[in-house]
Amino acid sequence: MPPLLSHYLDGQWESAGAAAESLNPSDTRDIVARIPLDDGSAVAAAVHAATKAFPAWADASLEVRSDVLDRVGSTILARKEDLGRMLSREEGKTLPEGIGEVIRAGRIFKFFAGEALRRTGVTVDSTRAGVDAATYREPLGVVGLITPWNFPIAIPAWKSAPALCFGNTVVLKPSELTPALAVALTEIVHEAGMPKGVFNLVIGSGAAGGALAAHADVAALSFTGSQATGARVASAAIARQARLQLEMGGKNPLVVLDDCDLDRAVQCALDGAFFATGQRCTASSRLIVTAGIYERFTAALAAKVAALRVGDALAPETQIGPLASQAQMDKTLAYLDIAAREGGVRRAGGEALSLAQPGYYVSPALIVDTQLDMRINREEVFGPVAAVVRVRDYDEALAAANAGEFGLSAGIMTSSLKYARHFTRNVRAGMVMTNLATAGVDYHVPFGGTRKSSYGAREQGFAAVDFYTQIKTSYSWA
């Protein structure tokens, strides 16, 4: 019998009846877990516990907070193999990708164990004689974290580690598609000695996320997911003036110029567009290629794409795992139809695959000869699909990269310092890569985008302090 997952409220595991199942997308006969779906009461209990726990956690010494985070990070790293396996089984990314994500989560906790000791304010001379002025960074209170299925441990880690580091208490609502990793993370947090009520987990559907966003005692919300849901979370949060951070994906351009290293460009496009089955918000889903290299680039990339081995996420020979769900598979296939109807030419892949075991398998697809205004170039597919646009020169490439409503990550493949520098300064994106894939980022630097990709302060690294603390300015005279 698959395990029944529980909520974690005020330091206790609270079971509720099974209302849904999480499935292995590589073999849908394999039920990973049975899960409760909160009707709102677990959210209320979690927020209540987090509210009670906040004053003591906010006042805890920096070393207490740092040590707990450090223990969490160490345990995650020590368990990278079994957690990586669990992740690949539940989400569908390959085992090396699953283990890599777990390592990233462990490193994030280690990083914020250090950041906990680095909380700084400033002292300034007042304009008034005899008066001192200073600023302090203070925690916000209860922070609600709503996370998606595509990075089921890294995203909970990169939201909860900084929240806890700076003295906030947390209610985490992971995606109902991949709750097992959030439960594993919570077990590790519990065993690391986190005081009760500081970290709470509610397993639920979108309705639980909605209840969290609307709860009057949640001081701030950090959300990653689709634009449509992000907009709903935003209206609930803004209506009650809660602090808000949204990360909602992209349509990330990789510009390939005539003067680039062709092999490297092909490898970056392959990695950026297709690994993790294209289910990364930073995926290189638009390949913008200048005319002089277009034929050679598309031919070389199509050959590599066609050779990718699609299969069970846990099989050692697999390079591309399944999509995460039936909905993701349907959406990917629907966009392939749309692209074909709009005139895109399929150069590789794009087929639903029937393997020995039932799963959500689609062969990675390369669509060439697309136009910028096609839906395949404007809307996020979130699957193993890349569309190629032919442009005349660098200027047209930059304009194409800047088209559309997203602005998360952008890349350029070139040997020209002039173009690389100009692109870095002029592309409208929160992250820019030169001779690198658009996906694949460090954890100690800011993450986030412009326009419809992100809203609010940047996530991660040294920038996280801006979202998870508020500044108090003090004046004193004696």
* Interface with ligand NDP (CB under 6 A): 146-150, 173, 175-177, 205-206, 209-210, 213, 224-226, 229, 232-233, 247-249, 281, 328, 331, 380, 382
User: Which CB sits closer to ligand NDP, 257 or 429?
Assistant: 429
Q: Are 141 and 170 in contact (CB under 8 A)?
A: no
Annotated catalytic, 260?
no
Annotated catalytic, 281?
yes
Residues with Cβ within 8 Å of residue 419, at least 6 apart in sequence: 257, 259, 394, 412
- Between the alpha carbon of residue 49 and those of residues 195, 197, 211, 222, the distances in Å are 11, 5, 16, 19
User: Which CB sits closer to ligand NDP, 382 or 419?
Assistant: 382
Distance CA 148, CA 174 (A): 6
| H or E, element range at 386 | strand 385-391
30 token code pair: 């394999």
Q: Which residues of 59-216 form beta strands (DSSP E)? A: 123-125, 131-139, 142-146, 169-173, 199-201
Closest residue to ligand NDP using C-beta atoms: 209
266 token code pair: 């092909």
- Between the alpha carbon of residue 76 and those of residues 84, 97, 190, 192, 325, the distances in Å are 10, 15, 13, 11, 26
Other CB atoms within a 10 A radius of the CB of residue 420 amount to 17
Please report how close the Cβ of residue 155 comes to ligand NDP at its closest, in angstroms: 8
Q: Which residues, in sequence order, are bridge partners of residue 201?
A: 8, 172
User: Which CB sits closer to ligand NDP, 116 or 248?
Assistant: 248
Long-range contacts of the stretch 81-86 (C-beta < 8 A, 24+)? 83/153, 83/181, 83/184, 85/314, 86/32, 86/180, 86/181, 86/184
Distance CA 243, CA 169 (A): 14
Please report how close the Cβ of residue 83 comes to ligand NDP at its closest, in angstroms: 20
Q: Which residues, in sequence order, are bridge partners of residue 139?
A: 469
Please report how close the Cβ of residue 211 comes to ligand NDP at its closest, in angstroms: 8
User: Which CB sits closer to ligand NDP, 235 or 473?
Assistant: 235
Please report how close the Cβ of residue 178 comes to ligand NDP at its closest, in angstroms: 8
90, 247, 380, 459: which is the annotated catalytic residue? Answer: 247
Measured in residues, the chain has a length of 478
User: Which CB sits closer to ligand NDP, 14 or 91?
Assistant: 91
* Rama region for 343: left / alpha / beta (φ>0; ψ in -120 to 50; rest): left
User: Which CB sits closer to ligand NDP, 189 or 213?
Assistant: 213
Please report how close the Cβ of residue 470 comes to ligand NDP at its closest, in angstroms: 24
Please report how close the Cβ of residue 252 comes to ligand NDP at its closest, in angstroms: 11
Instruction: Give 473's Cβ-side CA count (13 Å radius).
Output: 6
Look-up of token digits 């060439």: 368
User: Which CB sits closer to ligand NDP, 43 or 257?
Assistant: 43
User: Which CB sits closer to ligand NDP, 54 or 382?
Assistant: 382
Nearest to 325 by CA among 151, 173, 224, 177: 177
Look-up of token digits 């005899």: 130
Please report how close the Cβ of residue 172 comes to ligand NDP at its closest, in angstroms: 10
165, 260, 268, 281: which is the annotated catalytic residue? Answer: 281
Please report how close the Cβ of residue 301 comes to ligand NDP at its closest, in angstroms: 23
Please report how close the Cβ of residue 226 comes to ligand NDP at its closest, in angstroms: 3
Nearest to 234 by CA among 222, 250, 219, 249: 222
User: Which CB sits closer to ligand NDP, 209 or 359?
Assistant: 209
Q: Are 263 and 375 in contact (CB under 8 A)?
A: no
337 token code pair: 């139809």
In the 8-state DSSP scheme, what is residue 350? -
22 token code pair: 């999480």
Catalytic residues: 247, 281
